[in-house]
Amino acid sequence: MSTSFNSSIKKARYMIGSLGGYSLIQLALDRLFSINHYYVMKVNLKRLSDYPLKRNPSGELSLLTVDDLTKIKQHVRKYKSNIRREILARIQFYERGFHNCYVMKIDNKIAYFQWLIYPNENENIRKYFKRTFYSLQDQQVMIENAFTFPEFRGRGYLPYVSRLLLNKAKNDGYKSAIGYIKNDKITSLNEFFKMDFKVIQYLREVKLAGRVFRNLKIK
Ligand SMILES: CC(C)(COP(=O)(O)OP(=O)(O)OC[C@H]1O[C@@H](n2cnc3c(N)ncnc32)[C@H](O)[C@@H]1OP(=O)(O)O)[C@@H](O)C(=O)NCCC(=O)NCCS
């Protein structure tokens, strides 16, 4: 058996084991058939708002390492099922090759993580998410998958780190940023509006028999 096949089996086993029975059934039903809606949001990075933040949470920002990922994996089971699903989806995202994941750590504990995705990752977007995300234009980044660990919520990490990452992209010469936010994620929508993101499309997502379809306008 090939090493990549073995490693896929190992990953699948880990995911199934970590989800547990109830979450697994929920996930299977969701993948079998569900309909969700997302806002596609965009900001011109020149116009990124630097409104005063209510809180400046502590911590150090760095790129997620393999050790960090191992720690996250080891602790997944202590969270309740909906949180576990959120974390596992992000582990899978990382393992699909999206490695520009930033973590905010306090005393070496991970409080928050979030991705910046660059145009040179378009091939990977097309490989795994061609019905989910648009390919990025030159000089455009995508900001995705914000997550605060429950014990660190309510401290202001979402606006603080999102802005750090978007400013990093701006300083690296990128012109715009795009994000996809589910219509019931009111906290994230509010924060994105505050940063001057505008809704550019409302997407309907249909999951059917394990496949995902969004009504992307692909020429
Ligand atoms: C969304 C999420 C990242 C917010 O994390 P957080 O670090 O606790 O959020 P913050 O502390 O930065 O709060 C941002 C704002 O939202 C508000 N807020 C946060 N959680 C809230 C809640 N459950 N209900 C109402 N308001 C909430 C805060 O009060 C704050 O507003 P304020 O600055 O006016 O006081 C976190 O809940 C999470 O990881 N959720 C699961 C994954 C997810 O939904 N990711 C977003 C994908 S788009």
Determine what percent of the chain is predicted with pLDDT higher than 70.
Answer: 99
Residue with the smallest CA separation from ligand 1 atom 12 is 156
- Burial letters 101-125, b for 16+ CB under 10 A, else e: bbbbbeeeebbbbbbbbbeebbeeb
How many angstroms separate the CA atoms of 85 and 76, rounded?
9
Q: What is the pLDDT of residues 180-190, one digit of tens each?
A: 999 999 999 99
Q: What is the pLDDT of residues 117-163, one digit of tens each?
A: 999 999 999 999 999 999 999 999 999 999 999 999 999 999 999 99
Of residues 138, 134, 113, the one with CA closest to residue 179: 134
Packing angle, helices 81-95 and 3-32, rounded to 10? 140
Q: Is 79 in the pocket of ligand 1 (CB under 6 A)?
A: no
Q: Which atom of ligand 1 is nearest to the CA of 155?
A: 11
Q: Is 82 in the pocket of ligand 1 (CB under 6 A)?
A: no
Burial of 202 (0-12, 13-18, 19+ CB in 10 A): exposed
Ligand 1 centroid–CA 57 distance in Å is 13
Enter the tokens of residue 148: 């605060």
- According to the model, what pLDDT value does residue 23 have? 78
Alpha helix ranges (H) inside 96-179 = 122-129, 157-171
Q: Which atom of ligand 1 is nearest to the CA of 54?
A: 33
Residue 1's pLDDT band, with cuts at 50, 70 and 90, is low
Does this model's pTM top 0.85? My answer is yes
Angle CA 9–14–15, to nearest 5: 100
DSSP assignment of 54-79 equals S-----EEEE--HHHHHHHHHHGGGS
Packing angle, helices 81-95 and 66-75, rounded to 10? 160
CA dist list (Å): 38 to 72, 168, 196: 27, 25, 18
Q: Is 187 in the pocket of ligand 1 (CB under 6 A)?
A: yes
- Which domains does the chain carry? 36-205 (3.40.630.30)
- According to the model, what pLDDT value does residue 176 have? 98
Stronger pLDDT, 4 or 181, i.e. the higher one: 181
**Summary mean pLDDT of the chain:** 93
